[in-house]
Amino acid sequence: MIDDAQKPMLRFLTILTAASMIGIQGYTILFNNFAVDVVHLEGRHVGIIQSIREAPGFLALLAVYVMLVIREHRLSALSIATLGIGVALTGMLPTYGGIMATTLIMSFGFHYYETTNQSLTLQYFATNVSPLVIGKLRSIAAASSIVTAFLIWGMGYFLSFKGMFLVIGGLVFLAGCWGLLQDPTHSSIPPQRLKMVIRKRYWLYYLLTFLSGARRQIFTVFSIFLLVKVFHFSVQEVTLLFLVNNGINWFLNPLIGRAIIAFGERTLCSVEYAVVILVFLTYAFTDSRWLAAGMYILDAILFNFSIAIRTYFHKIADPQDIAPSTAVGVTINHLAAVFLPALGGLLWMIDYRIPFFIGTGLSVISLCFAQCIRLPERSR
């Protein structure tokens, strides 16, 4: 289903996606314990840092203008190198201000790669293939996360946080340097409109993307923090949890791509949002550390269903709108990220359950609007 002309791009995205996940998962596994045990941060500090972390995602639409001077695949590789630099520096600056600075560097790299990764995938692979490719890339990402978890598990016994951040960041930086030497493109791809594109007919894609981004903030920021702060998970336990989680995702992600083809985007989105309502309510009320951990794994599995939002857009979009609309979509996905983590951190100080009640409400709204998904006849 993938011809020879597409294989260089698939290889390019596979290696850079693996590097991206090694960087972001390594950072995520280490961050909460580093923040609590070394820097001694509280919930309000973590919330503000996470808002800073998401600010580059809010600025992702600027990637369109960067592409006026840097080709899109070059920007992908440069973003991975930047991600590596940010992660490597994190352990060297164990202060509140230091973490804010390195988080910003790391986040620019991660979010600009996510923007170009999504765009290149939709440009180079047809609508009947892209769900499978996205599923495969997600599976590669999960496998990379497993390798990262094992690496951190081992390094945790003889390296400090500084050493672990340096090793992870160095590996990611080298992958970015490799990418800068590659050219996986070919000339048959429609030229992209390198300007901001916002169209009324994409309104449902924009709305579901916004709601997905808001729900992701609750998952990313507060579910892991719940395990560390309330249930006292150690760095080894968090690493084991990531290992189990990504082992499941490595197996399931290709199946999710096939499920989108078989059952459609509306069904996948509806299943995700309905179950996530129960997940957030369980976070809020459970007293069991292992039930909370189980909900985290289920939450991560369900979040992979968000592939359906991307493939829905692929089926309704003008091919020349993919790069600019993807950049706008990433920005919309991060609108809530600018304020929700900080707000949630303050609400956490009142009652840690409040952020999860917000997540429940977001999931209910998402479930309602998912029923509006309709595809053109040519895409069915």
- Write out the DSSP string of 302-362: HHGGGHHHHHHHHHHS-GGGHHHHHHHHHHHHTTGGGTHHHHHHHHHHH-TTHHHHHHHHH
Query: For residue 369, what pLDDT is reported?
Result: 94
Look up the CATH number of domain 7-183+194-379.
Answer: 1.20.1250.20
Residues in the chain: 380
Read off the pTM.
0.82
Give the angle 113-198-268 at the CA atoms, nearest 5°: 65
Taking only the tens place, the pLDDT of each residue in 345-354 is 788 888 889 9
pLDDT at 336 over 80: no
- The span from the CA of 124 to the CA of 137, in Å, is 14
Whether 149 and 242 have beta carbons less than 8 Å apart is answered as: yes
pLDDT digits (tens, 9 = 90+) for 246-279: 788 888 888 888 898 888 899 999 999 999 999 9
Look at residue 380 in the predicted model and tell me its pLDDT: 47
Residue 12: pLDDT above 90?
yes
Residue-level pLDDT at 3: 65
Is the model more confident about 151 or about 336?
151
pLDDT digits (tens, 9 = 90+) for 135-182: 889 889 888 988 888 888 888 888 888 899 999 999 999 999 999 998
Calculate the average pLDDT of the chain.
86
Is the model more confident about 246 or about 84?
84
